[in-house]
């Protein structure tokens, strides 16, 4: 690794399908430096002083919005939050007009979460500030994909050749899609499992993705297990019988964890439905990196802001 000519300056962060392995490596390296800042007593650097960032959230969020906000503030940027319930959006303003309004105020970056797949890409084609996708429907959540890679790399020292099992509600998961792109690009072996009703029917056609019906088959000998949240709020019902049965047949617990490598790392994008897709013991056990993910999220988002708004350290 080391010196590279890659620059992310001005790049819209829409999905990891648009990132090269070199670009991903650059983000992970930069995030390592950023993590040191978070551990300082005075967490403030002037990197983005004079830059302004808007977070535009059409869907509820605690960790992602706060994480982006703190990331911007630690770097010295001015950050303003807009959420759907408290803005002109409730008056029926179109996405295009909302974006024009924000752009007209001289904003440098817009962090956007939206229910509609492609909303961030639409925004990137409508206005000039850099767009960072903080989740668009079931499509992508690139910063989550990157923080997952960062967390794995911190623990394992490398990414290539690792076997990851992604289990649960893949159908509704933007995280899973960003993981698949990001992990495949970094040379990881991706195994997927969950109830068939929650796995996209033709996902098996994606090169390098192995889909299993039983989660035991995906977990077997895995280096990393990512458990996805059951997104009941996006379901119309009937996709599985009960959460009780789900937990029994498709949930991750300490028994099933034994099938993986001893040092297998457990990830969950949060918020967790403890007792459903993951047992509380497993979630808080020795293998779990779920809390670390949250901290790493801030570091990765600081890296993204720095790289897209300043290009990072040049020379």
Partner 1 sequence: MKLLLKGGRVINPAGKFDKIADVLVEDGKIKEIGENLAADGAEIYDATDKVVTPGLIDLHVHFREPGQEAKEDFESGANAAAAGGFTTVCTMPNTKPVVDDAAMVRSLEKRAEDVAKVHVKIIGAVTKGQEGKELAELGDMIEAGAVAFSDDGHYDQKAKVLLNAFDYLHTFDKVIVNHDEETSLVEDGVMNEGHRSAMLGLKGRPTVAEDIAVARDIMLAEYAGSRVHVAHISSARAVDIVRQAKKRGVRVTCEVTPQHLTMTDECVNLFDTSTKINPPLRAQQDCDALLEGLKDGTIDAIVTDHSPHAQEDKDREYIYAPSGFPGLETSLGIMLTDLYHAGKLDLPTIVSKMTCEPAKVFGMDAGTLAVGKSADITVIDPELCWTVDEKKFYTKGSHSPFIGRELKGKAVLTVVAGKIVMQDGEVL
For residue 133, count CB atoms less than 10 angstroms from its CB and return exposed for 0-12, middle for 13-18, buried for 19 or more. buried
Task: Quote the distance between the C-alpha of residue 122 and its chain's center.
Answer: 19
Kindly state the smallest distance separating residue 121's Cβ from partner 1, in Å: 5
Number of chain residues interacting with partner 1 (CB under 8 A)? 27
Between CA 89 and CA 58 the distance in angstroms is 9
141 is catalytic: yes
Which one is catalytic: 3, 39, 86, 91? Answer: 91
Between CA 156 and CA 175 the distance in angstroms is 21
Two structure tokens written together for 290: 């779920």
Which one is catalytic: 51, 141, 191, 268? Answer: 141
Considering the complex, state which of residue 76 and residue 137 has its C-beta at the smaller distance from partner 1: 137
Which of 45, 80, 89, 203 binds partner 1 (CB under 8 A)? It is: 203
Which one is catalytic: 32, 63, 155, 156? Answer: 63
Please state, in angstroms and as integers, the Cα–Cα distance from residue 98 to each residue in 25, 125, 246, following that order: 34, 14, 41
Kindly state the smallest distance separating residue 204's Cβ from partner 1, in Å: 9
Which x/- pattern, by CB under 8 A, does the window 153-182 give for partner 1? Answer: ---------------------x--x--x--
**Closest C-alpha among 241, 233, 32, 282 to residue 151:** 32
Between CA 164 and CA 266 the distance in angstroms is 10
> Is 59 one of the binding residues for partner 1 (CB under 8 A)?
no
Q: Which residues make Cβ contacts (< 8 Å) with residue 237, sequence separation at least 6?
A: none
- A 10 A CB-CB count for 33 gives 14
Which of 76, 118, 270, 275 binds partner 1 (CB under 8 A)? It is: 118
Angle between helices 142-156 and 174-185 (to 10 degrees): 50
63 is catalytic: yes
Considering the complex, state which of residue 114 and residue 301 has its C-beta at the smaller distance from partner 1: 114
Q: Which of residues 219-278 bind partner 1 (CB under 8 A)?
A: 236
Pick the piece of the chain touching partner 1 (CB under 8 A) from 65-73, 196-204, 213-221, 247-255: 196-204
Considering the complex, state which of residue 138 and residue 147 has its C-beta at the smaller distance from partner 1: 138
Considering the complex, state which of residue 121 and residue 223 has its C-beta at the smaller distance from partner 1: 121
Which one is catalytic: 35, 113, 163, 229? Answer: 113
Q: Which residues pair with 192 in a beta bridge?
A: 166, 211
Burial profile 219-236: b = 16 or more Cβ within 10 angstroms, e = fewer: bbebbbbbbbbbbeeeee
196 is catalytic: no
64 is catalytic: yes
35 is catalytic: no
Residue 14 backbone class (left: φ over 0; alpha: ψ -120 to 50; beta: rest): alpha
Which of 62, 86, 205, 242 binds partner 1 (CB under 8 A)? It is: 205
Binding residues for partner 1 (CB under 8 A): 17, 94-96, 114, 116-119, 121-122, 125, 136-140, 174, 177, 180, 200-203, 205-206, 236
Catalytic residues: 63-64, 91, 113, 141
């Amino acid at each position: 690794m080391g010196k590279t000519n890659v620059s992310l300056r001005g790049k819209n962060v829409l999905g990891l399908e648009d990132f090269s392995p070199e670009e991903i490596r650059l983000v992970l390296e930069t995030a390592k430096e950023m993590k040191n800042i978070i551990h300082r007593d005075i967490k403030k650097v002037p990197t983005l002083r004079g830059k302004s960032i808007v977070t535009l959230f059409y869907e509820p969020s605690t960790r992602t919005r706060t994480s982006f906000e703190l990331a911007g503030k630690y770097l010295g940027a001015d950050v303003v939050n807009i959420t759907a319930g408290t803005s002109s959006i409730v008056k029926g303003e179109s996405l295009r007009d909302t974006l024009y309004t924000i752009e007209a105020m001289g904003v440098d970056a817009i962090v956007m979460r939206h229910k509609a797949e492609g909303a961030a890409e639409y925004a990137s084609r409508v206005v000039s500030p850099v767009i960072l996708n903080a989740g668009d429907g079931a499509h992508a959540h690139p910063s989550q994909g990157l923080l997952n890679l960062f967390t794995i790399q911190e623990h394992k020292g490398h990414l290539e050749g690792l076997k990851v099992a992604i289990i649960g509600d893949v159908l509704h998961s933007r995280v899973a899609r960003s993981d698949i792109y990001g992990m495949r690009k970094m040379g990881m072996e991706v195994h997927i499992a969950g109830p068939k009703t929650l796995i996209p029917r033709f996902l098996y056609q994606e090169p390098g993705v192995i889909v299993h019906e039983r989660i035991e088959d995906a977990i077997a000998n895995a280096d990393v297990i990512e458990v996805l949240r059951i997104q009941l709020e996006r379901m119309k019902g009937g996709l599985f019988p009960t959460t009780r049965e789900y937990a029994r047949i498709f949930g991750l617990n300490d028994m099933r964890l034994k099938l993986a490598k001893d040092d297998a790392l457990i990830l969950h994008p949060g918020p967790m439905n403890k007792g459903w897709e993951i047992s509380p013991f497993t979630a808080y056990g020795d293998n779990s990196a779920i809390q670390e993910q949250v901290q790493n999220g801030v570091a990765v988002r600081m890296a993204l802001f720095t790289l897209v708004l300043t290009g990072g350290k040049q020379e």
